[in-house]
Amino acid sequence: MQAKKMIYFSTILLMFGLSANGFAHCEIPCGIYGDKMRFDMWLEQITTVEKSMTQIVELSQAGDKNYNQIVRWVTNKDKHADDIRDIAVDYFLAQRIKPVADLNDKAAVEKYQKSLQALHHIIVHSMKAKQTTDLEHIEKLRSLVAEFYELYFDEKMEAHLKEHEH
């Protein structure tokens, strides 16, 4: 009976270990991943979606269509649009943007609300980038990332990042 429990327990641990999500890294305050790197990743993803959109449009307008390449660019666009959303959700919303403790602190509440709004719009425009080849969503994503950057990296955050440098 004891051996059966040990096998059951080991199986459960193994299942949890194998199902860990590699992208999210860890949800403990380890300080390994950099916040500024996430913004660079966003900009790279946005540029990749933009390139994919232009390739889809060009290939679709060609007289002799290469459907294989069109599908590859659509798949690439969708993956990178998902990556934009995942950074907003899995990194910033889940781990970095904290609810305001003192609701009487009007400045903190306003910053929190603006941050949530910017992240929500990033999520929406990444979804719309999956649905279309409209470059308007690319420009909107770039401006939203810049807006969120200004909100996120205030003096308090800069001090926190310095404190956790390697």
Residue 6 lies in a domain: no
Looking at residue 162, what is its pLDDT?
Answer: 73
Residue numbers in the chain where pLDDT is lower than 70: 1-33, 160-161, 164-166
Residue 10 lies in a domain: no
Angle made by CA atoms 86, 91, 96, in degrees to the nearest 5:
150
Residue 17 lies in a domain: no
pLDDT in tens, 51-79: 999 999 999 999 999 999 999 999 999 99
Looking at residue 136, what is its pLDDT?
Answer: 98
Residue 12 lies in a domain: no
Domain that holds residue 105: 30-163
Phi-psi region of 93 (alpha: psi -120 to 50; beta: other; left: phi over 0): alpha
Query: Sign of the C-alpha dihedral, residues 153, 157, 163, 165?
Result: negative
Residue 2 lies in a domain: no
Looking at residue 35, what is its pLDDT?
Answer: 86
In the numeric block, which tokens belong to residue 60?
Answer: 């679709």
CB contact burial 122-133 (16+ within 10 A = b; e otherwise): bbbbbeebbeeb
Distance, CA of 87 to CA of 58 (rounded, Å):
29
Q: What contacts 133, CB < 8 A, 6 or more positions away? A: 53, 54, 56, 57, 77
Residue 5 lies in a domain: no
Q: Write the CATH number for 133.
A: 1.20.120
Domain count along the chain: 1
Residue 53 lies in a domain: yes
Give the other-Cβ count within 10 Å of 120's Cβ.
13
Residue 120 lies in a domain: yes
